[in-house]
Amino acid sequence: MGVGVRHWQGPLMMALVALPLAGCSQFGSTLAGRTLQDALGDGEATHRERARELPYASLVAQMEGNRSLLVLAYHNGEAGGDTTLWQARDRATLALEQGWPASTAGFTSNLLSLNYASPPQEGSRYRVRAHWEDAEGLDHLSIGQATLECHAPAPLELPLIELELERCEERVEWQDAGTSHNTLWRHPVSKRIWAGELEPWPDAQTIEWQVARPWWES
């Protein structure tokens, strides 16, 4: 697709993997911290330009009103069941499971886990379990029933490429806590998720993300 990718390598990769999800007060003084700051810049360049310059897997995400370019710090697993960890220059962290947000760190409120009782499929109902921490550090848990409906592929402009993707709409009915409406854009054949908008728990701020350079083989 013309969007090549490399992963962080060697000592840098190991330093990033060693970081806790919530970041580290010493992050800016580590090799990994300095290299990330050098790579991601100080915000003067647009995220699209920066993603084009970097040879590493990256995505553009917006969380709690902040839009950032995130670089892949860790990847584990095979296609369809992989886990990825993404770091922004300001130490904010986003973890994806199968391309879908699973946890965050470094924000006022954080998603601790988002679990599905079964893989989301069209035409069926499935259970969703959200666990999060609020601004006061208190844990919350909510369970809901979800459905998924996908539409015919249509063009979607991503940071580095335009693709024909399915737009899928997820509706989550939380127990005594209202309804969330989520959207994901996935490849019609591979079902890889390229972008999405997710309200991870009842009344949460939306997490938005778009893949710039994918971490999987084209």
Under DSSP, is residue 50 helix (H, G, I), strand (E, B) or coil? helix
Comparison of pLDDT for 10 and 159, the residue scoring more: 159
Residue 59 to residues 2, 7, 13, 30, 194, Cα–Cα distance (Å): 16, 13, 17, 23, 9
Calculate mean pLDDT across residues 146-160.
Answer: 95
pLDDT at position 31 is 31
Comparison of pLDDT for 78 and 29, the residue scoring more: 78
pLDDT of residue 123 exceeding 60:
yes
What gap in Å lies between CA 2 and CA 48, rounded to an integer?
15
Comparison of pLDDT for 12 and 190, the residue scoring more: 190
pLDDT at position 45 is 52
At residue 149 the predicted structure's pLDDT band, cuts being 50, 70 and 90, is: very high
Whether 112 contacts 133, CB under 8 Å: yes
pLDDT at position 17 is 33
Using left for φ > 0, alpha for ψ between -120 and 50, and beta otherwise, residue 178 falls in: left
All domains of the chain, ordered by start, with CATH? 10-213 (2.40.360.10)
Percent of the chain with pLDDT over 70: 78
Question: Torsion over CA of 53, 54, 57 and 62, rounded to 10 degrees?
Answer: -70
Under DSSP, is residue 47 helix (H, G, I), strand (E, B) or coil? helix
pTM (two decimals): 0.79
pLDDT at position 218 is 59
pLDDT tens per residue across span 162-197: 999 999 999 999 998 899 999 999 999 999 999 999
What gap in Å lies between CA 105 and CA 110, rounded to an integer?
6
Calculate mean pLDDT across residues 127-134.
Answer: 96
Contacts of 203 (CB under 8 A, 6+ apart): 177, 178
